[in-house]
Amino acid sequence: MTLIAALDTVTIIAIVAIVVAVVAVVANLIIMARYKKKQKTEPPKYTLTEAAEKIEIMRRGEYLVMARNVTYSVGEEGEIAEGSYQITCAVDGDTKLNLRVNGLVREYNSGVNVTLGAGDTICCVSGSALMKRV
């Protein structure tokens, strides 16, 4: 009689389960080692202070230029700091602009003050706008 024939079904299932568990643990250790190695060699994409200097937001003196149809988030991980801002039209002669603040689109007059808190979003719908901290 062979060794496998001498073992009962429960013992065979237990041995197979142990082998599968050992293979899974070894595979997990290999994946984690590769992930940690990749994480150490890859520099951070940007720091918190550089987040406000992304391509979409350019500094022009003390104004932030908000591009059209680009949604900006407010807070530590967002592009804009919390606070009160004066929004003016980027195009001379325009007196009104459409802004999407937290998903709601409204028409605002140029020079309006908007207070933004953590987690808020803002987007210029009708055109670009200048944003000055008040």
Q: What is the pLDDT of residues 74-112, one digit of tens each?
A: 887 787 888 888 999 988 888 899 999 999 999 999 999
Task: Name residue 80's beta-bridge partners.
Answer: 74
CATH architecture of the domain formed by 48-133: Sandwich (2.60)
- Contact partners, residue 110, CB within 8 Å, separation at least 6: 87, 88, 89, 94, 95, 96, 97
102 contacts 46 by C-beta, under 8 angstroms: no
- Residue percentage of the chain with pLDDT more than 70: 78
Q: Using CA atoms, how far apart are residues 121 and 73, in angstroms rounded to an integer? A: 4
Q: What is the pLDDT of residues 22-48, one digit of tens each?
A: 999 999 999 998 887 766 655 555 555
pTM of this prediction exceeds 0.85: no
